């Protein structure tokens, strides 16, 4: 086998050498709509505002734009939008890679496509290139990588480089060097979202920025060692172990974008199966939170390692606190944008119910991870009744997908408070037809206020 970077570049060349199948285009449009929803909502949050203030001297001019409505240079737009996309925890997932592919990939692709005046279809091709490379890299790095590294920051950098390289129309050799360069720019520590911390979204922003730069360097003739993925001191061996690159790359006939999870809850995805199972039991047996004496969750390792804590001091920590999310979801019916208001965070009924939640790693459930994200849920009611449900999939997973209607509803919910309902509806209609747009100015006019 030749160098991994070259193999990944050739994979994209083969996959995108002809017109994309309508199913692939539709999957990419769903990912774009979902990304816009999460990013527009996130653009007004503390982390995104802080980054815009940090880069304020770069805003107001440029060929691209941010979701908050500022013109910006391509690189700055990629950085800001990438971070904003990951703030409210509604961004998509590629489960086999324990990875959020859209955040950095679409942020970088959109900034390049707008800056270079590409069409909507060319943007979609870039998005597909980013997903197909980064999903495979994330899948290869696996759970060993995820123990210490945040895959959205690492594989996300490579996905951003792939997307931008396709939009830059780099030839195979330059494309391969862009991917190789991006490996040494990839970062993101797990500790950024353990406990009280507000910096996790920085991983997605940095990945979009670094991937954009890596592709630009390759475009301008810079070369990297060709074995940056597979060398003894390369990505796979430094950040993981026993990486099977041949298996991970697979066939050009496989489009991993078709296996994207669209989030239905605004929290860490490792909580989803438990929350879905709990809410299903509540609907089926019609009990109230006040009826519950005990909740027990049998989860997979990442569920317990990442979210098995009782820390919910602020929105950032609460999104990674399984007891809080379960208690709040059971009491209030959902985990959406309002789940992390101060009144919800300090709700005494939620805090009391949290203490009734117990968690453990279930060997059967854990053996299915990361290919399947399931949970076992037990609920004991005060009347002595015991309920049980095995939740094999999460709502939004490929095998239990959100409908287009549910995706539209999510989009309107996340964007209307920022753009207003009329503008949100107009933007949504344009995004569903983005593959037909000759200019992305039709998208930006819904966002830019200057």
pTM metric for this prediction: 0.94
Q: For residue range 280-329, what is the model confidence (pLDDT) as tens digits?
A: 999 999 999 999 999 999 999 999 999 999 999 899 899 999 999 999 99
Residue-wise pLDDT tens digits, 135-165: 999 999 999 999 999 999 999 999 999 999 9
Q: How many helices (H) and strands (E) does the chain have?
A: 21, 6
Whether the pLDDT of residue 186 is over 70: the answer is yes
Backbone angles phi, psi at 149, to 5 degrees: -110, 155
Residue 320 CA to residue 311 CA, distance in Å, equals: 8
Structure tokens that stand for 154 in this block: 């690492």
Return d(Cα 126, Cα 112) in angstroms, integer: 9
pLDDT of residue 195: 75
Give the pLDDT confidence score for residue 1 in this predicted structure. Answer: 44
pLDDT band, very low/low/confident/very high, at 104 (cuts 50, 70, 90): very high
| Integer Cα distance of 349 and 204 in angstroms | 34
How far is residue 392's CA from residue 212's CA, in Å, rounded to a whole number? 37
- Rounded to the nearest 5°, which phi and psi values hold at 64? -125, -165
Rounded to an integer, what distance in angstroms lies between the CA atom of residue 362 and that of residue 98?
A: 19
Mean pLDDT of all residues in 423-447: 96
| pLDDT tens-digit map of 261-272 | 999 999 999 999
The pLDDT tens digits of the residues spanning 62-74 come to: 999 999 999 999 9
Mean pLDDT check: name the lowest of 191-200, 270-279, 280-289.
191-200
Residue 449 banded pLDDT, cuts 50, 70, 90:
low
- Name residue 72's beta-bridge partners: 64
Quick one: pLDDT at residue 450? 47
Percentage of residues in the chain having pLDDT higher than 90: 95
Query: Which of 52-69 are b and which e, b meaning 16 or more Cβ less than 10 Å from the residue's Cβ?
Result: beebeebbeebebbbbbb
- Concatenate the DSSP letters of all residues of 63-92 into one string: SEE-TTS-EE-HHHHHHHHHHHHTTSS---
pLDDT digits (tens, 9 = 90+) for 31-60: 999 999 999 999 999 999 999 999 999 999
- The arithmetic mean of pLDDT across residues 376-386, rounded, is 97
Q: How much is the mean pLDDT over the chain? A: 96
Q: Residue 357: which of 307, 315, 314, 407 has the closest Cα?
A: 307
């Amino acid at each position: 086998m030749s160098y991994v970077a070259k193999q990944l570049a050739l994979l994209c060349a083969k996959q995108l050498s002809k017109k994309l199948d309508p199913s692939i285009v539709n999957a990419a449009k769903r990912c774009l709509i979902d990304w816009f929803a999460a990013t527009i909502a996130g653009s007004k949050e503390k982390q995104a505002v802080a980054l815009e203030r940090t880069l304020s001297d770069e805003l107001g001019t440029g060929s691209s734009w941010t979701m908050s409505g500022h013109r910006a240079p391509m690189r700055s737009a990629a950085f800001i939008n990438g971070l904003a996309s990951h703030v409210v925890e509604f961004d998509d997932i590629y489960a086999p890679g324990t990875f959020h592919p859209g955040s950095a990939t679409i942020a970088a692709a959109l900034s390049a496509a707008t800056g270079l005046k590409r069409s909507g279809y060319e943007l979609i091709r870039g998005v597909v290139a980013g997903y197909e490379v980064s999903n495979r890299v994330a899948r290869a790095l696996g759970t060993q990588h995820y123990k210490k590294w945040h895959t959205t920051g690492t594989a996300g950098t490579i996905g951003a480089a792939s997307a931008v390289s396709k939009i830059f129309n780099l030839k195979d050799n330059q494309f391969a060097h862009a991917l190789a360069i991006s490996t040494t720019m990839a970062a993101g520590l797990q500790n950024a979202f353990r406990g009280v911390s507000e910096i996790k979204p920085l991983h997605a922003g940095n990945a979009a920025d670094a991937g954009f730069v890596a592709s630009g360097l390759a475009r301008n003739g810079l070369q990297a060692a060709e074995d940056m993925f597979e060398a003894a001191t390369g990505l796979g061996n430094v950040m993981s172990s026993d990486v099977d690159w041949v298996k991970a790359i697979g066939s050009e006939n496989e489009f991993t974008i078709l296996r994207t999870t669209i989030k239905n809850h605004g929290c860490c995805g490792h909580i989803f199966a438990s929350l879905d199972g709990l809410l299903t039991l509540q609907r089926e047996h019609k009990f109230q939170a006040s009826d519950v004496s005990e909740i027990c969750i049998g989860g997979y390792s990442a569920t317990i390692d990442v979210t098995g804590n009782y820390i919910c001091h602020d929105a950032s920590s609460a999104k990674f606190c399984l007891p809080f999310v379960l208690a709040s979801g059971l009491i209030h019916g959902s985990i959406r944008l309002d789940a992390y208001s101060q009144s919800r965070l300090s709700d005494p009924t939620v805090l009391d119910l949290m203490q009734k939640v117990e968690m453990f790693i279930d060997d059967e459930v854990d053996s299915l991870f990361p290919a399947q994200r399931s949970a076992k849920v037990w609920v004991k009611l005060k009347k002595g009744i015991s309920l049980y449900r095995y939740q094999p999939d999460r709502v939004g997973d490929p095998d239990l997908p959100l409908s287009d209607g549910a995706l539209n509803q999510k989009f309107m919910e996340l964007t209307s408070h920022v753009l207003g309902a009329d503008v949100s509806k107009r933007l949504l209609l344009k995004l569903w037809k983005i593959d037909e747009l000759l200019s992305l100015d039709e998208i930006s006019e819904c966002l830019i206020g200057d």
